[in-house]
Structures are given as C-alpha cells and as structure tokens.
Structure 1
Amino acid sequence: MSRISNTKGGNDEPGGIPSPNKVNKPPKQDLFTGFKSTVMETFFPDDPFRSFKNVPTSRKFVLGLRSVFPFLDWARGYNLTKFKGDFIAGLTIASLCIPQDIGYAKLANLPVQYGLYSSFVPPLVYAFMGSSRDIAIGPVAVVSLLLGTLLQKEIDPVKDKANYLSLAFTATFFAGITQATLGFFRLGFLIDFLSHAAIVGFMAGAAITIALQQLKGLFGIKVFTKKTDIVHVLKSVFHNAHHGWNWETILIGVSFLAFLLLAKFIGKKNKKLFWVPAIAPLISVIISTACVYGFRADKKGVQIVGHIPQGINPSSVQKIFFSGKHLFVGFRIGVIAGLIALTEAVSIARTFAAMKDYHIDGNKEMVALGTMNIIGSMSSCYVTTGSFSRSAVNYYAGCHTAVSNIVMSMVVMLTLEVITPLFKYTPNAILASIIINAVLGLIDIDAIKLIWKIDKFDFLACMGAFFGVVFVSVEIGLLIAVCISFAKILLQVTRPRIALLGNIPNTSVYRNVLQYPDAFRIPGLLIVRVDSGIYFSNANYIRERTLRWLTEEEEASKDNGQRIQYVIIEMSPVTDIDTSGIHGLEALHQSLNKKDIQLAVANPGPVVTEKLYLSKFVELIGEENVFLTVADAVRSCSPPSGP
C-alpha cells in the first residue's frame, strides 16, 4: 500500500531508502520563508536583482543605470551599419506619423500641433528608457478617441479651450503616473486581467467608431453630433445629406482613401514594398494640399486645417490641474487612458520581440512609458503609446534599435520649426481618409473567427465589448470588456472542471471518461479529478458536485448490488488549497462517513501535502488513504472481487 512517509527512511526498501511508491512529506519550512517565496514568485518571477548578486559595490551603480536606461547596453555595440537601418526606418515612420498625428489630435479634440508635439518629446524619452527595439511611439487612434470622448463630457473643447487643454495634460500626467507605478511596483500582471478576446472586440468596435466619426471630415459636414454611437452618428450624417455635404470634399476624401487602401494592399502583397503604404499618407497630404491651394477649394466649402503655430513644444507644467475640482476628473480619465495605452504598447512590444527573438521586461516597459507620459504632460503632449501600424513599418524598414524613434523625433522637430505653415491648406478630408485607412487594420476578422472556434465565452466577451463600443460609447464598451473578463475569471475559479476517471484498458492509466469512452469505471470506487486549486470560492461546489455523482452512482448500483465503498480524489492538478478548501474536504469526508464510504486522495503536490498535514486532515482520513497514484489507490481500495 502506498502511503505518505513523514520520515527519511522506510521499511519498504533496505538501507532506509524511501520507497518510490510513497508520497513524501515536503521539507518543513517556517511561515516566513514560505510567505517570502510566494511574494517573490508573484512580484519578482524573473529575479530582477540576479545581475547584482556577487558583484562589487562599485559595479552595482553601473548595473543600476543600465537597468533604468537600457540604451547603455545596446549603445556599446552600436555601429554605422545599424545606424543606416535606424535612419531609414526613422525617416519612413516620420513620413507616416506626421499626417497621422495631425488627424489624431483632431480626434482628441485638440489643436493639431499637439499631435506633432506628442511625437517629439515622448519618443526621445522612450528611446533611452524603453527595452523594445521595434516599437514606434506616438499618438494612436484608440487612445485619442477615448481621451477626446471622456474629456468633452467634462469640458466643452470649443467654448472652454484653455481648461479642456489643461484637463488633457492632467489626464496625461496621471496616465503616466499609473503606468510608472504599475511598473515600479511590478504590478504589470494586472493588465492581463483584460482578456485578449475583450481587447480584440474593443479594438474592432473602436475602429468602426473612429471611422464613422471621420464621416464628418470626409463629407465636409460642419454641424455634427458629439456622441460616438453608430445610431447618432449615422443620423447626423444623413440629416446633413441635402445641405451639409460638400461634393468637392467628398471627391478629395474618397479619391485619396481609395489611393491609401490600394497602397496598403500593395504593401500586404509584397513585404518588400512596405514603404509604399508608409509614404502614401504624406504623398496624399502633399498632393491634396497643393490641389486645395491651387484651385482655392477652401473658398468653395472645403474645410482645411488652417494655421499651425511654428516652434517646438512649449512648457505646460503650469497648465496641469494639481488641485481643484478637475484634479479627480483628470486622475480618473488618466487611469483609464493609461491602462488602455499600456495594454496596447506592451502587446505590440512583445509581438515584435518574439519575431526577433529577444526579451521584453514588461515592468521596465511600463516605467519607460509612464516616464515619457509624465514628461510629455509637462511639455504640451497628450497620452502617447506604441502604434502598431508605425511599429510594423519600423520593423519592415529594418530598424535595429530605438534610434529610429530619435530620428523620427528629429524629423518631427524640423517639421514643427520649419514646415508647419505648409499644412495650412491641408483639407480635413485627407486627414479623415488617413485615419480611416489606419484604423481598418484594428478590425481583426481572423482573430474573431478563431475566438469563435476555440471558446464561445471568449467570443461573448469579444462581441460584448464590440457592441458596447459601437452602439453605446467607448467607455461603456471598455466597461463591458472588463466586466466580462472578470466574469470569466470568476466563473473559472468558482466552477472549476471536475472529471470522473476510468481505467484505460490494459494500462494503469486513469483518464476522463468523457474524453475516453473506452475507459471503464472500477466497481465500488468513485474516482474524481479536480482540475484547479481548491479555494474558498469553489470548495463547496467541488463537494456538492462529488456528492451528486455519488448519488447518481448509488442509484445506478441498485441493479447490480455493487455499492460505492471509496471516493478517490486525484489531486495532481490541484496546485494549492486554502483553509476553506480544507474545510470543504473535511465536510466531504463527514458526508461520506455517514454513508460508510471512505475518502482517499492521490498524488497531492508538495504545497497541498504540507497544508493537509498542518491542518491534520491526513490524520482525519488516515495516512493509509493518501496514495502516490490513482493506480495505487485502486489496487488498495478495490474490493476482493474487483479486477
């Protein structure tokens, strides 16, 4: 019989060697050591201080600097060949980001220069502190829409421009604080609570919402709804159909949208032509601006960008609300925008790191992103993050390091200093076309199909977020995404998978009878496997589910007269158990005792074994009823007439 051994020796083998068929009690650890181990594994699973061990004190300062500023690592091996790749990549993403930044600023209801400001300072900060070689930093569509939607609910961007701008900087400041705090305290795992399915649905819904919002610029509509849901937007579009549409604007917008979509198609068909969709937006801006200026289309109702102030970012420290009624509002909006920006940036960084086979430290990324947004809020920038479209262009353009962000930043600086007056006659329609073209890539049909095939609950989360954004608002869609993600976690925790096991013929293997119909049940035994930890949230369910199976078996056994004598719980998948879980097992033992049925457990892990001992549960059921394997338990517990 296989039993737990709480001694170093045993009688089953000569020389006091423990029997291989016994479940050994793990070495006893004091309470502090166990707690410390759990905390370290939760917050420091990658052991970030390993590089500081056994290192002279003088060297630790240098290692600390390299940890905070990763550029000190790659800068040592930097050469002209790498710079050529970074320079070309930086120029390429600059040609893409400049027209996008102007459009995204309008999406956030900010003057267009603030979009350019946000692609100057933050990329510089990230280049020195970020660990990703490929991510391109700047404003993005989803965060711009989210920020604009939340801000305009508090302050009217037209009637009170100054306070609206200040609230935007305040939200950006707290977005940075949120990101840096999560990274510093190594709480990055919290963003994983927003499931991939929910993010896919949210992004798709946001993409459609953003595209619909651009119909205002694409059709030249002057009076447009401030609501973002599809019903109000389409009503506003068709309400203006007779008098609000401008055919010159529509001609410009639709023509260049077709050109941009064609350029994107070419880039997808041939990866070597990545530069075609990258420079297409800038070419569109140049040509459309020249046409508007040459034909003076602005006098025929074509709306234009207008004057953009020259010069680099002015200080905005004095504009941030550090007190007053807008402080909490800025904090709330900043936390939401910061988390969404963080989720997008970290996922992008990990994607490209996997493609190039290098490591991304998520917590360092959060500190870098947070720092750049804090500094950005003080230099007239709004929330920035990693852009997937620009990062993809950066990757295919041959970037080697974050120097490509520095090159892009320098090009944006020159644009602010010299070129901004040339954007005066840029039509709003072309910006709308650029944004529509950019956000269409956020609708991942293949991912949605895969989610439907794999997990219907995930698909529900995806569609809940999608329809919430499209039919209600961005923040409601985000709230639905978060709620459904948490609901799934709660469902999985409170209703873990439990399986009835049977024996695979001619083996000692026991598997789920639903998965393996040929597996036969052992007469007189009920073998149950719990596929999760046993906690306060699921202990009662596990007990009740087991007793229901037992009742079903007892009813079925009336015909053959073979009653259940043992209930065996296979515990190898049980990673942990808490006091409520142990109480649940004790309650199950008591219920079985009343029926003259013995409870046995098989293959508990070291953590579970230790807790079963400390709680005296092993004494309650008897050491002889704790087995190494299910096969051992079956051999010991089967009635004499069994197989």
Structure 2
Amino acid sequence: MPGLGTLLHYRRDWLRADARAGLSVAAVALPVGVAYAELAGMSPVAGLYASVLPMMVYALFGTSRQLIVGPDAATCAMVAATLVPIARGNAELYISLSVTLAFLTGALCLIASRLKLGFLADLLSRPILLGFLNGVAISIVVGQLGKVFGFQYRHANLLERLGELPGNLWPVQWPVVLVALAALGVLWASNRWLPRLPSALAAMVVCGLGVWLLGLDQRGVAVVGPVPAGLPQLHWPSLPLRNLGELLGAAAALALVSFNSAMLTARSFAAKNRYDVDADGEFRALGAANIAAALSQGFVISGADSRTAVNDANGGQTQMVSVIAAATIALVMLVLTGPLAYVPQAALGVVLIYASLKLVDWRGLWSLRRYSRGEFLLALGTTVGVAFVGVMPGVGLAVTVAVLRFLMRVARPRESLLGVYPDRDSFHDLAIHPGAAAVPGMMVYRFESPLTFFNAAYFKHRVLALVDTAETPVYWLVIDSLPITQFDLTALAMLRELNAELAERGVTLAFAGRREEWLNWFRERGKTPDERLYSTLQAARRDFNAKMAGR
C-alpha cells in the first residue's frame, strides 16, 4: 500500500492544497458520477457509490499521487454494451450483473498484477486507443440525443438510431430542448469566464433550480427522481454461473481498457510532476478499487482524466486528495440527496455529450495518416467498429488486427544485403548506401526478426533464393545475428537443413554477432553448432579473406 506510507507520514503544509483540490474534485465528481451512472444503465446513486469507496481504496494502493478513479465514459459505455443484451430489461438482474462485472474486473486486475502483466498497458496502441475513444464518443453523443430532445430510441444499434433521428426530432419537445440549451449555455459560460468553477456542477444546479422553481417536471421534462440518502451497504456479490462465461470475457476487456486508460493518465501527470508510477502496482490498485466498487453496489471504474486534471490544476500533492473528495461525496449522500431529484435528464445528456466531445481527437487521427497509412487505417477501423458494431466487438477486432499486423511484420520482416565502402570496415545496407559494395564471394544477409516457427520456412526460402540468383558466385553466406534476438527448435531444425543445402551448393554458412549467446544456447542443450560463429561481421570478413587467400 504505497499510499498508506504517504498518509502515515503526511506533512501539514500539504493539507491546504490537498483540501482545495479534494473539494474541487468532489464538485466535478458529483454530477459526473450521476451522469455516467445513467450512461452505464444504473441508477444515479450507483454513480455516487462508485465514487466513494473506490477512491478511498485507491488512495491506499495507488502509486500515482494525482490519479483520481471513478466512473469513466468509455468503461460505462462498455458496461452498458455488455449487460443490456444479457439482462433483457430485467432491472434487478442488470444491477446484479453490473456488480458482478465490477468484481470480476477487479479480480482479473489483481491476477494480472500478481503475474506482472503491467506491460499490457502497451497492448492497446495509440492508434487503437485513439480510435476507441473516438468511437465511444460518437456512440455516446448519438445515444444522449434522446435525452436532449425528449424521446426514447427503439433500437440499440447506432445505424438504426441514426435512422430514427429525423422522425424523433419532430414535433419538438420545447421544454426539454430549452433545458438542454440552458445547460449548454451554463457549461459554455462557466468554461469561458469562470474556468475554475466546476462547469458540470454549475449546469446541474442551474437547471435543477429551474425545474424546481418552474415546475418543469410537471411539463414533460424528465428528471433524475428521488435518490436514496445514506451510504451503501457493503455486501459480497453473487456470481451468476449461467452468465459467467459472458461476463469473464467482458471483464477481461474492461480490465485491459480501464487499466490502459488509467495508466495513460497516471503516466502523463507523473511525468509532469517528475515521479514514476509502477504499472504492476497500478494494476493492483485498480483491481482493489473495482472490488471496492462491487462491494459498495457500484460498477466498473477507471482512471478519470478530467478529475485528475482538476486535481493537478488545484495543486493536489498526495493521495489525501482522494480521501477528502470521497469524504465530501459521502457527506452529500448523507444530507443533500434531495436536490438531486430535480436534476433534469436533458442536463445530464448535455453534460455527457460535452464530456464525450472532449474524447474526440480528429486532429490526432488525421496526423496518423501522415505518419503511417496502416496505423491510420487501424485507428479509423477501430472508430467505425466501436461506433457501429459495438464497443466490445470493436475493441476485440482492433486488438486482433493489431496483433496480426505485428505477427505479419515478424513473419515477413524487413531484410537487407550488407556491403562495405572501399575505405571502411563497417557494413551498410546496400539499398540505402549506393556507394557501398558487397564483399566479392561473401553475401551478408540481415533478417530483422527473431527466428521462430512461423518465419523459419520463409527465412530458408529467402536465403536460398538470394544465393541462387546472385550475380557473382557466393562462397560464404554470413547472417547478421544482431537482429535475431531469439530462436526456437523449429528454427534450429531449419538451420540444419539450410546448412546442408548450402553445402551442396558449395556455400559455407556463418553467423556474425551474439556469438556467446549462441554458444551458451547450444551448451545448455548439449549440442554443437555446425555453422561458423563470429563475434562481429568484421571478424567473419577477415576469416573469409584468409580462407580465400589460402586457396
């Protein structure tokens, strides 16, 4: 518990900044928690439940001094996408499944931490994460338009919802639309002129007051409704065995997405404040926080970039910020839940749309096109997949495509022939250095990948093809071993075959680089290499020249 050490040795001069930051985080977390609970398909109070105990637990286990955990747009959208088809309108079952999903997500995070799988933070590459957030933002914006204009969708699919829009926008529900416009105006004005004011909270307060004073809830404006006061009762979630398979797959995806998102935020603010975060420790902290969310009747949580930014902007120093913010939200739940009943759904929809638009990064997507066409297509495909196919299938498809692209690069890697300049001893790629020339009689081949079962046959085919089509006779074939970081038994068997076939052609096979590593590998297995092994390409060239001179 790295956070516990900080809290036990807390310095008094940190308290003023941490208290200001904690109150500011709570002011943002209150409306966002209510709004994101709606997005996840849960009651508003569940969003508050998911904001209290998880923050307290993360304050103890987290290695980031700035990160704030809580409901997150992307994970909430994934929760809804997972549970709506399973629950099929059964509200009680939906809540039970949501709690179980949070517990399973937390458990998988703890297992990942134990297995030191923190490197999975890099599995969702930037193009995938960029496309994922863009796709989620599109889904949320279209989904929340129903609240903003006062209608309900009949379909869950985005394409079908887009088809419904023209018919649902007329006749206009003017009281609902005016409330939405008021919320948008408050958001814009507070961000424009009062940037330190929690704009989401201001929008909800203003619109809630308007509903209460004008009785708009009696004129067709949907509101949150009564929110039960008090703190959640802790209880152990029941595991529905019938749905366990579906939930485990979704929990694994949620664990990966929420961890990756949290790590991006944590690393960004850690770099800004000049300290390091432990990836495996963050997996453990996120797991503990999600289990806390499940025990307190919440739902899956993640790192919250907007609340973390509020924390940093207000000078938050330590994990005490999370403790103060959680205590503030708990106090509101005990004595101030009454006013939440008048918060209009239209205002929640505007807050969610406003927050979702910040997830969209079309500029970043377009910049990928200049960098790499493949990366751009991957990001664009992820955006389309998440938006139109679904969050879970879209992410799964994107990760699968990314892994396949990586395997293709390893299976068919970049290759080159090397040569030397007349007055130098160093070797260079002949395709890049036109002034260099191959050593007469010696072909130097570079294969920029490990040698494994899925590229061994290709390696052999390419080597033999290069030898057979060489313009001048080849007496030695030297493989540059530096890019070959490892090889397996399939590759070893292939090298035996390659050595025999080259010998039939009168060609000697040699390897230059990683000589001691190769010798140790053979010694550990009680084998003797048939190939010539050299420490460097220069050593291989000197031996080749000596052998040729002695002919």
- Relative to the length of structure 1, the TM-score reads 0.81
Q: 1:570 & 1:258 partners in 2: Cα distance? A: 65
Q: 1:290 & 1:323 partners in 2: Cα distance? A: 42
- In structure 2, do the counterparts of structure 1 residues 550 and 399 end up closer, same or farther at CA, with 3 Å as the change threshold? same
Partner of 2:177: 250
1:599 alignment partner, SS class: strand
* Residue of 221, 232, 253 corresponding to 2:160: 232
- In structure 2, do the counterparts of structure 1 residues 471 and 324 end up closer, same or farther at CA, with 3 Å as the change threshold? closer
Q: Deviations over 1:79-128 (max 9, x none)?
A: 22211111111111111111111111111111111001111111011111
Letter in 2 for 1:430: A
Letter in 1 for 2:541: V
2:178 paired with 1:212: no
Structure 2 contact 262–303 (Cα < 8 Å) conserved: yes
Q: 1:566 & 1:297 partners in 2: Cα distance? A: 88
Letter in 1 for 2:534: F
Q: Show the 5 A alignment for 1:68-217.
A: 69-157=1-89, 160-217=90-147
Letter in 1 for 2:264: S
Structure 2 contact 419–430 (Cα < 8 Å) conserved: yes
2:324 paired with 1:407: yes
Identify unmatched segments of 5+ residues in structure 2: none
Measured after TM superposition, the shift of residue 175 of structure 1 is 0.9
2:361 paired with 1:444: yes
Measured after TM superposition, the shift of residue 386 of structure 1 is 0.7
Q: 1:617 & 1:262 partners in 2: Cα distance? A: 75
Structure 1 contact 205–466 (Cα < 8 Å) conserved: yes
Measured after TM superposition, the shift of residue 606 of structure 1 is 3.4
Measured after TM superposition, the shift of residue 324 of structure 1 is 4.2
Q: 2:518 & 2:128 partners in 1: Cα distance? A: 34
Structure 1 contact 321–327 (Cα < 8 Å) conserved: no
Partner of 2:533: 626
* Residue of 262, 265, 284 corresponding to 2:203: 284
* Residue of 363, 367, 370 corresponding to 1:453: 370
* Residue of 256, 275, 284 corresponding to 1:358: 275
Structure 2 contact 502–509 (Cα < 8 Å) conserved: yes
- In structure 2, do the counterparts of structure 1 residues 264 and 483 end up closer, same or farther at CA, with 3 Å as the change threshold? farther
Partner of 2:520: 610
Q: Show the 5 A alignment for 1:263-282.
A: 263-264=190-191, 275-276=196-197, 279-282=198-201
Q: Deviations over 1:5-28 (max 9, x none)?
A: xxxxxxxxxxxxxxxxxxxxxxxx
Structure 1 contact 574–608 (Cα < 8 Å) conserved: no
Measured after TM superposition, the shift of residue 213 of structure 1 is 0.8
2:337 alignment partner, SS class: helix
- In structure 2, do the counterparts of structure 1 residues 316 and 203 end up closer, same or farther at CA, with 3 Å as the change threshold? same
* Residue of 422, 436, 458 corresponding to 1:541: 458
1:154 alignment partner, SS class: helix
Q: 2:26 & 2:157 partners in 1: Cα distance? A: 30
Measured after TM superposition, the shift of residue 616 of structure 1 is 7.9
Letter in 2 for 1:209: S
Q: 1:534 & 1:449 partners in 2: Cα distance? A: 35
* Residue of 471, 474, 479 corresponding to 2:396: 479
Q: 2:429 & 2:360 partners in 1: Cα distance? A: 39
Letter in 2 for 1:275: R
- In structure 2, do the counterparts of structure 1 residues 238 and 185 end up closer, same or farther at CA, with 3 Å as the change threshold? same
* Residue of 413, 417, 435 corresponding to 1:496: 413
2:511 alignment partner, SS class: strand
- In structure 2, do the counterparts of structure 1 residues 131 and 615 end up closer, same or farther at CA, with 3 Å as the change threshold? closer
Measured after TM superposition, the shift of residue 265 of structure 1 is 6.4
- In structure 2, do the counterparts of structure 1 residues 204 and 605 end up closer, same or farther at CA, with 3 Å as the change threshold? farther
Q: Show the 5 A alignment for 1:279-358.
A: 279-317=198-236, 320-358=237-275
Q: 1:226 & 1:179 partners in 2: Cα distance? A: 33
Q: 1:503 & 1:263 partners in 2: Cα distance? A: 66
1:315 alignment partner, SS class: coil
Structure 1 contact 576–608 (Cα < 8 Å) conserved: no
Measured after TM superposition, the shift of residue 259 of structure 1 is 4.3
Measured after TM superposition, the shift of residue 461 of structure 1 is 2.2
Letter in 2 for 1:200: L
Partner of 2:542: 635
Structure 1 contact 274–397 (Cα < 8 Å) conserved: no
- In structure 2, do the counterparts of structure 1 residues 453 and 258 end up closer, same or farther at CA, with 3 Å as the change threshold? farther
1:529 alignment partner, SS class: strand
Measured after TM superposition, the shift of residue 395 of structure 1 is 1.4
Structure 2 contact 479–511 (Cα < 8 Å) conserved: yes
Q: 2:166 & 2:418 partners in 1: Cα distance? A: 62
Aligned residues: 548
Q: 1:608 & 1:258 partners in 2: Cα distance? A: 68
Measured after TM superposition, the shift of residue 535 of structure 1 is 1.6
- In structure 2, do the counterparts of structure 1 residues 225 and 388 end up closer, same or farther at CA, with 3 Å as the change threshold? farther
2:530 alignment partner, SS class: helix
Q: Deviations over 1:132-190 (max 9, x none)?
A: 10101110011111101110101134xx2111111111111111111111112222334
- Relative to the length of structure 2, the TM-score reads 0.94
2:486 alignment partner, SS class: coil
Identify unmatched segments of 5+ residues in structure 1: 1-68, 267-272
* Residue of 421, 428, 433 corresponding to 1:511: 428
Partner of 1:38: none
